[in-house]
């Protein structure tokens, strides 16, 4: 039986939650004060996911870097693979918020999109 400790991020309480697992089966969730904590803990322990925000290289624009984000969550354990892929991207100005700079990053099914506008110079 595995025991995992985590801090809930659902609200400022930050309850310390303990999850007991056998393999991928959750046996118990304790320490949370509400349902938000329960749901968060179950997800976080089995399939932790994150949004990644970073920048990409821009050419021909009034800024040299464009801020970007993954359009949805990606698996937490793929963060650095995705960063490596994003770091190989370079986009040409002009850029608009929402432009896709990298489709389906690392096969996650999630696109990476621009979060700012860059003018062409």
Partner 1 sequence: MLYDVVIIGAGVSGSAIARELSRYKLQICVLEKEEDVCCGTTKANSAIVHAGFDAETGSMMAKLNVRGSQMMDQIASDLDVPFRRNGALVVCTDPDEVDGLQKLYDRGIANGLPADSMEILNREEVLALEPNLSENVVGAFYAKTSGIVCPFLLNIAMAENANVNGVDFFFNTEVEHIEEDTLPSSGEKIWRIRTCNGDYKARYIINAAGVYADVFHNMVSAKKIHITPRRGAYCLLDRAAGNYVSHTVFSLPGKMGKGVLVTPTIHGNLLIGPNAQDIENREGTNTTAEGLQEIIEKAGRNVRNLPMYQVITSFAGLRAHEDGHDFIIGEVEDAPRFIDCAGIESPGLSSSPAIGEYVAKMMAEKLHLTPKENWNGKRKGILRPSELSMEERNALIREKPAYGRIICRCESITEGEILDAIHRPLGARSLDGVKRRTRAGMGRCQAGFCSPRTMEILHRELGIPYEKITKSGGDSKLVTGRTKEHFGEEA
Partner 2 sequence: MEANTMQAYDIVIVGGGPAGLAAAISARKSGTERILILERDGELGGILNQCIHNGFGLHTFKEELTGPEYADRFIEQVYALHIEYKLDTMVMDISEDKVVTAMNRTDGMFQIQAGAVILAMGCRERPRGALNIPGYRPAGIYSAGTAQRLVNIEGYMPGREVVILGSGDIGLIMARRMTLEGAQVKVVAELMPYSGGLKRNIVQCLDDFGIPLKLSHTVVDIEGKERVKAVTIAQVGKDRKPIPGTEERYTCDTLLLSTGLIPENELSGKCGIRLNPVTKGPFVNESMETNIPGVFACGNVLHVHDLVDYVSEEAGRAGEAAAKYVQNGCCEAEDTREPISLVATDGARYTVPSVIHPDRMEDLLTVRFRVGAVYKQAYVSVYFDEERVMHQKKKIMAPGEMEQIILQKKKLLEKPDLRTITIRIEED
**Which range of residues in 24-32, 47-55, 101-109 is near partner 2 by CB under 8 A?**
47-55
Residue 73 contact among partner 2, partner 1, none, beta carbon within 5 to 8 Å by kind: none
Residue 105 Cβ vs partner 2, minimum distance, rounded to whole Å:
14
Q: Does 73 bind partner 2 (CB under 8 A)?
A: no
Q: Which of 79, 85, 89, 93 binds partner 2 (CB under 8 A)?
A: 79
Q: Does 73 bind partner 1 (CB under 8 A)?
A: no
Element (H, E) at 101: strand 100-102
Cα separations (Å) of 112 from 32, 101, 115? Answer: 34, 6, 10
Residue 78 per-residue DSSP state: G
**Which range of residues in 11-19, 33-41, 51-59, 102-110 is near partner 1 by CB under 8 A?**
51-59
Cα maximum dimension of the chain: 60
How many chain residues interact with partner 1 (CB under 8 A)? 7
Q: Does 57 bind partner 1 (CB under 8 A)?
A: yes
| Cα R_g (the chain), whole angstroms | 19
């Amino acid at each position: 039986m595995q025991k995992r400790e985590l801090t809930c991020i659902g609200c400022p309480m930050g309850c310390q939650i303990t999850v007991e697992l056998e393999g991928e089966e959750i046996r118990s969730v304790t320490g949370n004060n509400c349902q938000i904590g329960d749901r968060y803990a179950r997800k976080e322990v089995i399939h932790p996911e994150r949004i990644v925000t970073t920048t990409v290289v821009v050419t021909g624009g009034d800024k040299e870097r464009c801020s970007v984000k993954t359009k949805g969550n990606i698996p937490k354990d793929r963060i650095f693979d995705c960063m490596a892929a994003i770091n190989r991207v370079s986009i040409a100005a002009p850029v608009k918020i929402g432009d896709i700079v990298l489709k389906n990053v690392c096969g996650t099914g999630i696109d990476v999109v621009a979060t700012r506008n860059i003018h062409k110079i």
